[in-house]
Chain A
Amino acid sequence: MHRLASLGLLVGLIAAPSIARPCGNAVYLETKEAHRLIAKAQKHLDAGRYRRALRTLHDGEIHVDDRNLDRRASLVLAVARMRLGYTTNAAWSLDHLDRAHPNDPEIETRLGEVLARLNKASATAKASKILERLAKDDLMADEFGYLALARLRQASGDLTGAKAAIEACRKRARDPAVCALAAPPKKTKKDDRPPTS
Chain B
Amino acid sequence: MTALLFAALVAGAPPDASALLERFECARCHAVPGVEPAPTARHCVRCHEDIHAGRVEVPQATLHRWQAHVKSLLAAPDLRRRRLDAAWLKAFLLAPVDVRPDLPATMPRLAITAAEAETLAGFLAAPGRAPVTLDESRIEAGAAAFATLGCGACHAFGGLTEAPPPLPHPVSASRSLAPDLARTRDRMAPAEVVAWLLDPGPLMPRVVTERETAEALAAFVVLAPLPARAPPPAPRFLPVLKRKVAFGEVWTEVLSTVCWHCHSAEDFAFGDGGPGNTGGFGFEAPGLDVSSYAAISRGMRGPDGRRRSVLSRADGPSRLVRALKARWSEVRGEVDPEVRGMPLGLLPLSLEQIQLVESWVAQGRPR
Contacts and interface: CB of A to CB of B under 8 A. Distances in A.
Interface stretch (A15-23, A118-126, A165-173): A165-173
B153 to A, nearest CB: 46
Interface in B244-260: 246
A174 interface: yes
Contacts of A42: 292
Interface in B353-367: 363-367
Contact of A171 (B266, B270, B294, B364): B364
B298 A142 contact: no
A54 B307 CA distance: 30
Interface in B299-314: 299, 305-309, 311-312, 314
A171 B365 contact: yes
B365 to A, nearest CB: 6
Contacts of A106: 294-295, 297-298
Nearest to B292: A42
A191 interface: no
B298 A68 contact: no
A125 B294 CA distance: 24
Nearest to B308: A137
A139 interface: yes
Contacts of A142: 293-294, 297, 367
B314 A68 contact: no
Nearest to A106: B294
A137 B307 CA distance: 9
A143 B367 contact: yes
B265 A105 contact: no
Contacts of B225: none
Contact of B267 (A68, A109, A172, A174): A68
A163 interface: no
Interface residues on B, range: 20 to 34
A173 B367 CA distance: 6
B305 A103 contact: yes
Contacts of B273: 68
Contacts of B316: none
B298 A138 contact: no
Interface residues of A, number: 26
Interface string B65-92: 0000000000000000000000000000
Interface in A92-113: 103-106, 109
Among A31, A42, A138, A171: residue with most chain B CB under 10 A = A138
Nearest to A176: B366
B14 interface: no
B265 A72 contact: yes
Nearest to B273: A68
Given A139-B309, A142-B293, A72 B367 contact: no
Contacts of B298: 104-106, 139, 141
A173 B307 CA distance: 23
A35 interface: yes
Among B266, B294, B309: residue with most chain A CB under 10 A = B294
A37 interface: no
Contacts of A173: 366-367
B271 interface: yes
A140 B367 contact: no
B162 to A, nearest CB: 51
A71 B265 CA distance: 11
Contacts of B246: 174
B267 A66 contact: yes
A138 B299 CA distance: 9
A66 B364 contact: no
A69 B365 CA distance: 26
B366 A68 contact: no
B364 to A, nearest CB: 3
Given A137-B307, A173-B367, A72 B312 contact: no
Interface of A: 31, 35, 42, 66-69, 71-72, 103-106, 109, 137-143, 168, 171-174
30 contacts: A42-B292, A66-B270, A68-B266, A68-B267, A69-B267, A71-B266, A72-B267, A103-B306, A103-B307, A104-B298, A105-B299, A106-B294, A106-B297, A106-B298, A137-B299, A137-B312, A138-B312, A138-B314, A139-B298, A139-B308, A140-B297, A141-B293, A141-B294, A141-B297, A142-B294, A142-B297, A142-B367, A168-B364, A171-B363, A172-B364
Given A66-B270, A171-B365, 18 more contacts: A31-B267, A42-B292, A68-B267, A68-B271, A68-B273, A72-B267, A103-B305, A103-B307, A105-B298, A105-B299, A106-B297, A106-B298, A137-B307, A137-B308, A138-B299, A139-B298, A142-B367, A172-B367
